[in-house]
Amino acid sequence: MVNTHYPTSYEEALELLNIYKPTIVAGGTDLMVRKRAWSDLPTNFDRDVLFVGQLEELNYIDRQGSNIHIGAGVTLEDIMDHFHTPALLSEAIKIMASPAIRHSATLAGNVVNASPAGDTLPVLYVLDSVIVLESVEGIRHVPINAFITGPGKTIINDNEMIKEIILSGHKFNHKVYRKVGGRKADAISKLSVCLIMDTKKGMIQNFRAAFGAVGPTVVRDLAIESKLIGKSLDWLDENIEEIGKWYEPIIKPIDDQRSSASYRKACTINLLTDFIKHIKHHA
């Protein structure tokens, strides 16, 4: 028998979480689909369900120093329109799913769902996001790349929930988010990229690249990124193809019902090299 819990405070939610180890539902836009059953039958949840979408304490977006803190209960639609929200994240949300889903879904849900095709994840990786987890035992901060370990897999404990997500509010000189889906809305990504670069006086100061749906998790390669830092834009211009080649080993997509591995790989590299090509133009 599966029970549902509807706490009225965050504190109560944490206590219920500790007792029942339930499945946490905020917007439910992934879970309700995954747990669907024959019409008229209850959903197929195998554990108790804890509803947290109603908790006002989790419904906030704050700026603290150069960081943005987004509460686990904020819907994507609210995040998209908020003045603190980094432009890259707003862009990603704008083309995500449909208005109905965005009004219910949360950023925390997209993170904990841990799909390699999760639309906001490449942005969160590039913004060096930190996931703040809380349980009755305390709080811990986990970088997103350590938080997500595989498709649908995270290191969250069964008495923990996401309290908030902290991301960098830094403004980049050059940035792009591109999602390639089967259609222009309501699509699961075939692939997605988030790329940023800071340049000063013709030199690269900062470069980050995250790729979605091309491996078991979103991928970033810090070694390649650091190789680029300190290089000149002239050097960059001459080494576009080369940089594409550096990335090839970590772009390991699969064939599935939505696209082919070869398309995903070629298109990901194309988007990367296209981004770099345009840097000098706009530098």
- The minimum distance between CB 192 and other proteins, in angstroms, equals 11
User: Tokens 């504190």 identify what position?
Assistant: 11
Query: 39 or 66, CB closer to other proteins?
Result: 39
Contact flag: residue 174 with other proteins (CB under 8 A):
no
Contact flag: residue 246 with other proteins (CB under 8 A):
no
- Residue 78 Cα to chain centre, angstroms: 16
Contact flag: residue 46 with other proteins (CB under 8 A):
no
Query: What is the rounded CA–CA span in Å between residue 219 and residue 193?
Result: 10
- The minimum distance between CB 229 and other proteins, in angstroms, equals 25
> x/- binding map, residues 186-225, to other proteins, per CB under 8 A?
xxx-------------------------------------
Contact flag: residue 185 with other proteins (CB under 8 A):
yes
Among candidate residues 91, 127, 96, the one with its CA nearest the CA of residue 109: 96
Q: Give the count of residues interacting with other proteins (CB under 8 A).
A: 25
Query: What is the rounded CA–CA span in Å between residue 110 and residue 121?
Result: 8
Strands (E), 58-185: 61-64, 67-71, 130-135, 138-143, 148-150, 153-154, 161-168, 174-181
Of residues 83-102, which lie at the interface with other proteins (CB under 8 A)? 98
Specify the 3-state DSSP secondary structure of 177.
strand
**Of 70-78, 167-175, 224-232, 266-274, which segment contacts other proteins by CB under 8 A?**
266-274
**Of 68-76, 140-148, 234-242, 257-265, which segment contacts other proteins by CB under 8 A?**
257-265
Among candidate residues 224, 199, 222, 192, the one with its CA nearest the CA of residue 128: 222
Query: 69 or 178, CB closer to other proteins?
Result: 178
- Residue 283 Cα to chain centre, angstroms: 28
Contact flag: residue 39 with other proteins (CB under 8 A):
yes
Among positions 38, 65, 83, 138, the unique one binding other proteins when judged by CB under 8 A:
38
Check residue 145 and give left, alpha or beta (phi > 0: left; psi -120 to 50: alpha). Answer: alpha
Quote the tokens at residue 22. Answer: 């339930």
Query: 155 or 254, CB closer to other proteins?
Result: 254
Q: Which residues bind other proteins (CB under 8 A)?
A: 38-41, 98, 178, 180, 182-188, 257-260, 262-263, 266-267, 270-271, 274
